[in-house]
Amino acid sequence: MPDVVATAIFREGLQLSLWLNRRVLRHRLVPTDGGRPVGRGPEVRGPREALGLWLSGRDSAAEDLAFA
């Protein structure tokens, strides 16, 4: 996946999470494929596109993430 697309998915997931489920406020998100960590709380690691999908409510993306 192109870098700009992964970044866009992550950014959109952050915004949608504020409206839908507030996961972004309860977790520290650590992209493993580049980018800066975001937030505070229990750590969630994974690729930016999986983080973005999980943030927007796609729980099936959780299998690509590591929860601390």
Q: How does pLDDT run across 15-32, given as a tens digit for each residue?
A: 999 998 999 999 999 999
* Mean pLDDT computed over 52-56: 95
Cα separation, 28 vs 25, in Å, equals 8
| Contact partners, residue 44, CB within 8 Å, separation at least 6 | 27, 28, 29, 30, 51, 54, 65, 66, 67, 68
**Is pLDDT above 90 for 57?**
yes
Helix 48-55 / helix 3-20 crossing angle, nearest 10 deg: 20
